[in-house]
Structure 1
Amino acid sequence: MGTFESDWSRWRRPRPTPAEQRRDVLVAVGALACGLVLLVLVNSVGAFAFGSAPSLAEQFLWAAALCAPLAVRRRFPVAVLMVVSVVFIVAQARHIGDNNTPGFALFLAFYTVGARQPNRTVARWARIGVIVLMAGWLGVSLVEVILEPRPDFEDAAGPFDPFVALILVNIVVNVVYFFIAWLVGNMAWLSARRQAQLEHQADELRRSQEQNTHGAIVAERLRIARDLHDVVAHHVSVMGVQAGAARRALDKNPELARTALQTVEETARTAIGELRGLLGVLRAELAEDAEQPTPTPGLDQLSELLSSARAAGIEVTHGVYGDPRPVPEGVALSAYRVVQEALTNVVKHAGARTADVRVRYLDSALEIEVTDDGRGHAGRPERGGFGLVGMRERVAVHGGELEAGPRRDAGYRVRASLPVPAGPRENS
């Protein structure tokens, strides 16, 4: 891409690519081939139409001199225009038979300066200079025609004198010729600049989206770490209290000391398991949280989430299946957050009227399921949205699984399975 400035009017078009340079060579070769064919056909008419003219070999050389510079027109647009303009005038002065090839070469060179010249001031004045040069040549040619003896145009029936009409035709044709070449060249430049703007904006948008996604993931991981910090701190506190009790009771009451040490062991295992899951998911260094600790929500606070959803107009049903039992606080916290995010999506995106929240106590897992009767995919953010990322990471901390997707009939379902380790557990 070109060099970008705050002001896009100062944008500079990049140099031509190798593919563009190869196309320029092909254009030059094609123009020369067509020019040679036209020269042969025109010269076949003979003096009947053109009178005296240079030899065919010389005309071939002039055609080659006009077309060859086009092979580097995008690399050196101004230089090519100057060369083609001079050769054009000399070739016309020599009265070569074909006027189409010189006209095409001059038009393409003139257009290329407007479309490719990086310095717009140079592009403008170079084209103005060529227009002045061609206007001078046209004036000289018309004066020569006027000074020549006039033939008797007996069949002329128009309102203008034939010589006046000839002058007007030449002026109109040249004005239209250079106006179109100027206009098309400027349009090509503006089109390339708009394309560069769009690509630049798309690249900035992509980087912004990547930064936002990364920031959201980091923020979610910080929230996970903050929540689990309370759980781990609680376990460590319990271990300290129980270890102190065991030390004091070791000589007087060995059985009490044994029970305290068993509690320390179980609490340590739970804390280590949660720390292992946390360190496996979080790979970035997390800053210390300076906020005041807040009570850790759990399954007991689900009723508050249900009340909030009902206040938003959703008919929410709640069911508990299996034998309720205490689960680790980290598991209870993650279950709470999954329900919270799922109900938030129901309220914000699903357009649902009803939702169903189910908590299942299985033999070795706690299962949370939230369903609704909304729009399914149409009511959810795009795949990989921040809400799903947060739920998946929370569940992954505990080695669980998360399923989220549209239901077969209607609506959406979020189901999380959180393993619950065997043995005594802390109350949630």
Structure 2
Amino acid sequence: MRVQGDIDRRALLLDTAGAAVIGAIVIAAARAASSPDVLDLLLVAAGSLALAAHRRAPRTVLAVTTLSMFAYVVHAHPGSWVALPVVVAVHAAARSGHRAQAIGAGTLFLLGYFVVLIVAVPGVQDTVERTLLLLGWFLCAGVTGLIDKNWQAYLRQTEQRALDAERTREETALRRAGEERLRIARELHDSLTHSISIVKLQAGVAVHLARKRGTEVEPALLAIQEASGEAMRELRSTLEVLRTDVLDPGTGLDRIDELAERARAAGIALVVTVDGVERPLPADIGGAAYRIVQEALTNVARHADRAETTVRLLYTDSALELRVDDRGPCLPGDRITPGTGLTGMRERVAALGGTLEAAPGAHGGFSVRAELPLEPGMPTESRVSVESRGSAG
């Protein structure tokens, strides 16, 4: 968090310095062309310094800069250099994804500039040439803003794909290690357990017959009986260890609140509700449910622009039902190409004998619905309809 704060402060300082440089350029050009009065200087300062906030509020900056510089045009009838702050604001708005607002502001400024100069300044040809020059500047600003936006999106997507690939490799390695442990456990059980059981049984029968006949039991038989029993206990403990699924202790539904807080800190307006009689879950079911919610929230951050999201967990007598709905830009009928995340969800649910549906919602956005079967007779604790609310931080 401290590193992110340092980055934000550096970006703000750079933006402020850039806005001050632009303002200085415009004021210098104004002084070279004429003698600006106090109102002119205030309008230029307002239109230029507003650019310092272009990352946080690009649309507000676009409106303030456009209005301030247009007011300066109406008051002083300056040259084409007056459009420099507006060009920068158009670029910032296009880069932030507000293409329509950027086009509208640029068009209104150009029309106003043309009308004001046609009325107030003699020389139609010179005014037309200035306006066409500004048109080229605005087109370049909009195009470069869109290119920058697409490039940043490409970099984020590439980084996320690398993270997904790394996570998938780790999960695959863990799954293969678990499968190998289970195979070894089966082999040990099939080969050793039967043989040791026979040895123990035969030794026990021999000891019983010797005592029944009243003869002295050979110490070797007692040693064999005791050693085989100890070997069975040790082998049983070893098999239990091998059959234990290696799960991250921090990836169960008992950590769902921490996952929700991380999602809210990332900018997602999230609401989590838990309905039904909550109960302790087996590690594989709790881990799978946690991973499904985690992947769904990751997709909200990546593809739904951190839209408002709800997570609902429902405990029934026979299953755990979970649902993640967002209000992103996805529309009913949109075709979704499953990626690594959705494929991983389906594999987890299928391995537990459950069902998964992941598709655009009936009223827009995207919906992930999963049902994981539970074993009957699990111990329960009473917590019905618990709700955790929060907003994006």
Q: Quote the Cα distance in structure 2 between the aligned partners of 1:250 and 1:168.
A: 120
Counterpart amino acid of residue 68 in structure 2: V
Q: Quote the Cα distance in structure 1 between the aligned partners of 2:159 and 2:153.
A: 10
Q: Quote the Cα distance in structure 2 between the aligned partners of 1:169 and 1:98.
A: 11
Task: Give aligned-pair identity as a percent.
Answer: 21
Q: Quote the Cα distance in structure 2 between the aligned partners of 1:25 and 1:98.
A: 29
What residue ranges of structure 1 are gaps of 5+ in the alignment? 1-15, 118-122, 151-162, 286-428
TM-score in terms of structure 1 length: 0.49
Is it true that 1:61 corresponds to 2:53 in the alignment? no
Which position in structure 2 is the counterpart of 1:248? Answer: 209
CA gap of 1:219–1:250, structure 2 versus 1, over 3 A, is: same
Which position in structure 2 is the counterpart of 1:72? Answer: 53
The answer to whether the Cα contact below 8 Å between 1:113 and 1:185 also exists between their aligned partners in 2 is: yes
Please provide the CA RMSD for this pair: 3.3
Which position in structure 2 is the counterpart of 1:112? Answer: 92
- Look up the SS of the partner of 2:76 in the other structure: coil
Counterpart amino acid of residue 32 in structure 1: A
Deviation at 1:283, TM superposition (A): 4.0
Which position in structure 2 is the counterpart of 1:265? Answer: 226
Counterpart amino acid of residue 250 in structure 1: R
1:293-326 residue CA offsets vs partner (Å, 9 max, x unmatched)? xxxxxxxxxxxxxxxxxxxxxxxxxxxxxxxxxx
Counterpart amino acid of residue 108 in structure 1: V
Q: Quote the Cα distance in structure 1 between the aligned partners of 2:22 and 2:142.
A: 24
1:237 counterpart (198, 202, 205): 198
Counterpart amino acid of residue 126 in structure 1: Q
Is it true that 1:128 corresponds to 2:128 in the alignment? no
Is it true that 1:35 corresponds to 2:11 in the alignment? no
The answer to whether the Cα contact below 8 Å between 2:47 and 2:68 also exists between their aligned partners in 1 is: yes
Q: Quote the Cα distance in structure 1 between the aligned partners of 2:118 and 2:26.
A: 28
Q: Quote the Cα distance in structure 1 between the aligned partners of 2:168 and 2:29.
A: 62
Q: Quote the Cα distance in structure 1 between the aligned partners of 2:220 and 2:204.
A: 10
Deviation at 1:69, TM superposition (A): 1.5
CA gap of 1:140–1:82, structure 2 versus 1, over 3 A, is: same
- Look up the SS of the partner of 2:153 in the other structure: helix
Is it true that 1:223 corresponds to 2:201 in the alignment? no
The answer to whether the Cα contact below 8 Å between 1:243 and 1:264 also exists between their aligned partners in 2 is: yes
1:89 counterpart (70, 78, 86): 70
- Look up the SS of the partner of 1:61 in the other structure: helix
Q: Quote the Cα distance in structure 2 between the aligned partners of 1:24 and 1:180.
A: 25
Deviation at 1:70, TM superposition (A): 1.5
The answer to whether the Cα contact below 8 Å between 1:38 and 1:98 also exists between their aligned partners in 2 is: no
1:114-165 residue CA offsets vs partner (Å, 9 max, x unmatched)? 1114xxxxx232122213312322321442367x3x7xxxxxxxxxxxx53x
1:66-116 residue CA offsets vs partner (Å, 9 max, x unmatched)? 12211222222112111111111111233287864x433212211111111
The answer to whether the Cα contact below 8 Å between 1:66 and 1:105 also exists between their aligned partners in 2 is: yes
The answer to whether the Cα contact below 8 Å between 2:18 and 2:52 also exists between their aligned partners in 1 is: no
